[in-house]
Every structure is written in C-alpha cells, then in structure tokens.
Amino acid sequence: MKPADRIELFTRFKAANPKPVTELEYQTPFELLAAVLLSAQATDRSVNAATRVLFAAARTPSAILALGVEGLEPYLRTIGLYRSKTKHLIETCAILVQTHGGEVPRDRAALEALPGVGRKTANVVLNTAFGEPTMAVDTHIFRVSNRLKLALGRTPRTVEDGLMRAIPPDFLVDAHHWLILHGRYICKARKPECWRCPVSDLCPFRPKTPDPQTADAPSTRASVKASRPTTPASRRRVQSES
C-alpha cells in the first residue's frame, strides 16, 4: 500500500472511531493482563462474563493468589482451556506478588516471563494499559493486514514487524484497536462485508462482497424458464391443432 493510502486509511479509521478501546472489561493493568491471558482461544464476551464475577470477588494478584487453584477454577469453568489458564494465572499472580510488588511490569521481557503470557499478550498490555506503540497481531489483524496489503506475511511476527514500519507514527498507538475491530465486524474471514467498508476503495482484495440488499435479481433466462408452460409438448401440439 502506498504511503498516501496508508495515511488516508488511518485517517478514515480515526474519523469513524476517534478513541478506540478494547472490548475486554478491566479497570487496572492487572485486570487487563488477567483478561488477555484468559482470552486465548476464547471470545471477549465469554471472558467478560467470567471476569465480572471473578473481579467482584478478587481483583488483585494477592487476592487471586489467595484463592488458590481450587478456589479460582470455578470462576473460569465457562472459558475454554480453563484448567491451564487457572494454573497460569495463579503462577503469574505469585510472580507479580513476589517479584514486582503486586504490580504489572511495564517491560516486555518481564511480561513475557510470566506464565501464559507471550508476545501478543505483552503487546496488548503495553499498548492498552500503558499507551506504548506496540502491535499485537491476532487472527483479525493478520487477515486485515494481508488483505489490505498493509503488511504482508505468513507469520504474526512478520506482519507485526511490517505494520510497525508501515503505520504512520501519529496513528500507531490506536492502530491495534482499529485493525482488530475492522477485522472483527467488517473484514470478516468467510464473508467480508465490503459493501459497508469505509476503506473499500483503498483495498485491493478481490472479489468484493456485494451488498446483499442490492444484489442482482435472477437472470432473465431463469425468469423466462420459470414462466414457460409445464404442459407436455404432445398436449400443447394437440391443443394448438384443435
């Protein structure tokens, strides 16, 4: 994508959503970290449903650590892979309490050292909780970046590095949210809703999905075929001769 088109792309995203935010519910950096850790292979909706109840009972590393695995597990049963996530969250809370004074570190290496926290989760926390210009590439951002040819790549890290180079600096802090929301609600995997895409004219992806409300009517041939008489040919011939 040309530099001028990249600026136009994010100018439109910003005009449509000036202050984008994550759809995960949280109030503190720790709550965000916990929510993102739990969101792997799960929907934001299912994570929010679980954390609303959990955070009402325990919302700090020390409080969750006090629950222990047996006490925490019931809060997370509705989330996929809840057993491993329970274990990771308890271990993460222990490290935060013992090593970081119960606070979430603002450092990539320290974040990625936490159980269940990889590069993507660290990027989300650094960006959303601390306002760092990072790019967490999930399945939506990976798809959108390749379709737009904003950053081409076969791996999340390749796309991440490409996006960090391609996105104009003035838009970089919010770009993660704009791209993920665009992929989640418009540029969908199976059937992108191109007819309502605000950047369709900048996107080289083909074929464009037409608006289902204005799709072409059945062909004339089909209409004529449907209107033909169903009377057998022999009977039509007899009728015409009589």
* Tens-digit pLDDT profile for residues 40-59: 889 999 999 999 999 999 99
Q: Say what the pLDDT of residue 216 is.
A: 55
Same structural domain for residues 93 and 172?
no
Q: In the annotation, is 138 catalytic?
A: yes
Same structural domain for residues 123 and 40?
yes
Same structural domain for residues 144 and 66?
no
Alpha helices for 186-232 (secondary structure H): 220-227
Q: Which is catalytic among the residues 19, 44, 87, 120? A: 120
In angstroms, rounded to a whole number, what is the distance separating the alpha carbons of residues 18 and 35? 24
50: CATH: 1.10.340.30
The residue range of the domain holding 103 is 29-129
Q: Say what the pLDDT of residue 215 is.
A: 64
Same structural domain for residues 118 and 192?
no
Same structural domain for residues 164 and 88?
no
Q: Which is catalytic among the residues 138, 161, 174, 216? A: 138
Q: Say what the pLDDT of residue 214 is.
A: 83
Q: How far is CA 202 from CA 27, 53, 143, 220, in A?
A: 36, 43, 16, 34
- Counting as low any pLDDT under 50, the low residues of the chain are 217-242
241 domain-assigned:
no
Q: Say what the pLDDT of residue 155 is.
A: 97
In angstroms, rounded to a whole number, what is the distance separating the alpha carbons of residues 77 and 219? 52
180-189 pLDDT per residue, tens: 999 999 999 9
Q: In the annotation, is 120 catalytic?
A: yes
For helices 172-185 and 3-16, the axis angle rounded to 10 degrees is 70
Same structural domain for residues 64 and 148?
no
In angstroms, rounded to a whole number, what is the distance separating the alpha carbons of residues 19 and 25? 16
Cis ω on the peptide bond leading into residue 105 (within 30° of 0)?
A: no
Of the three residues 101, 129, 157, the one that is the final residue of a domain is: 129
Rounded to two decimals, the pTM is 0.84
